Amino acid sequence: MKILKWIGYALLTILLLATAFYIKAYVSTENRLSKKYNYTLQPFEVKTDSAIVAEGHRILKTKGCKSCHGEDLAGKVWLDDAMLGRIVTPNLTKGKGGLPKDYSTHDWLRSLKHGLKRDSTPLRIMPSHEISHLGEEDMNALIAYLSQLQPVDHELPETSLGVLAYVLTDLDQILLIPADSIDHSRPLTKGVSREVSVKFGEYLSANCSGCHRKNMKGGPPLAPGFPVVADISSTGNPGKWSEEQFINTLKTGTTPEGKKLKAEEMPWIAFKNYNETEMKALYLFLKSM
Ligand code: HEC
Ligand code: HEC
């Protein structure tokens, strides 16, 4: 009987420690989420015409916005999990349940470049740390496209984070607050030249570094249940591929070795919208790493 009693005490202690840890994770994450950020919103005027809008749409597709905000960009319940919680992406149109009618260029820039809401608190999950690397022209095209979206009525529930989202955020295992990895005083990059060069490839690789890391050598999975992120630098498989094989992989999601990449884990569905110049530049850049 004595042993049972001690086991009981041990279990109780574990339970108390786990609860204490959860409370700490909850309080610290909620504090971070209510923090108001300092940022410099640069003056920005959007030029628009039909070619710019079409280019903005292409850029939007390469960035995978639709996989989160829905095919029509009217938002969706992106994740609904007992442990992680319910993550909802907003309706980006100005229909019912969508963005306010007076959502301006500056509001777009605050979300896309700084990862912040109107009240200067951070957006959750929204990968602004990658989008913020867009150069002036590309950001202009993206906002030109977004500003002319046809209104779609779609009302959505609120996001509510689950126990595991708090714990993993506190342990630094998921990137809940991309605003923390953004330099908020850096202006948009000027004069990006769109040519087959290592430099342009490096610019585009902001779309890859979130998962494959800055050095493109990959690393541990991004979240529990996801695969190890592959090395795509010159020391990984792409280092052995021809330019054509690399381009084919991005277009079809199947590697020369015959591996089928799952779009939810490796978003090739978005990357197949890159044009030839972009794919060639990315290849050059990866080879140089
Ligand atoms: C990984 C999923 C994901 C991707 C990819 C993504 N978003 Fe988001 N986005 C979100 C989530 C989740 C929110 C809501 C954040 C919150 O509620 O705190 C959000 C919020 C936003 C907002 C803020 C709207 C507001 O209420 O002010 C804008 C604007 C936005 N996203 C635009 C985009 C655009 C444009 C792209 C592509 C360039 C994009 N998002 C890509 C998940 C994503
Ligand atoms: C959301 C995370 C994510 C992003 C963003 C991402 N990747 Fe990946 N990528 C992965 C994962 C995970 C794997 C490994 C998949 C597997 O093993 O099934 C992978 C595998 C690959 C492979 C196959 C490597 C091999 O050895 O077979 C290539 C090529 C690749 N990625 C290129 C890119 C490029 C180029 C970009 C940017 C334009 C990019 N990835 C962006 C997650 C990502």
pLDDT in tens, 98-152: 999 999 999 999 999 999 999 999 999 999 999 999 999 999 999 999 999 999 9
When pLDDT is cut at 50, 70 and 90, the band that residue 173 belongs to is confident
Q: In this predicted structure, what is the pLDDT of residue 111?
A: 98
Can you give the pLDDT at residue 49? 96
User: From the CA of 222, which ligand is nearest?
Assistant: 2
> Ligand 1 centroid vs 248 CA: distance in angstroms?
29
- Structure-token match 């960035």, residue found: 63
Phi, psi values for residue 200, rounded to 5°: -65, -40
Q: Is residue 261 in contact with ligand 2, taking CB distance under 6 Å? A: yes
Ligand 1 atom, smallest distance to 142 CA: 35
What are the beta bridge partners of residue 131?
none
List the beta strands (DSSP E) in the chain: 76-81, 85-89, 160-161
pTM of the model: 0.90
CA–centroid distance, 114 to ligand 2, in Å, is 25
Report whether 123 contacts 109 (CB < 8 A). no
Count of C-beta atoms within a 10 Å radius of residue 213: 16
Return the pLDDT at 105.
95
- Tell me the pLDDT band of 262, cut-offs 50, 70 and 90: very high
**Quick one: pLDDT at residue 183?**
94
Atom of ligand 1 nearest to the CA of 78: 12
Q: Which helix (H) or strand (E) holds 266?
A: none
d(Cα 175, Cα 181) in Å, to the nearest integer? 9
Ligand 1 atom 34, closest CA: 65
H/E element, 237: none
Distance 277 CA to ligand 2 centre (A): 19
Mean pLDDT computed over 54-72: 94
- Ligand 2, atom 13: closest residue by C-alpha: 229
In terms of Cα–Cα distance, which of 199, 217, 207 is closest to 281? 199
Domains and CATH numbers, the chain: 1-189 (1.10.760.10), 198-288 (1.10.760)
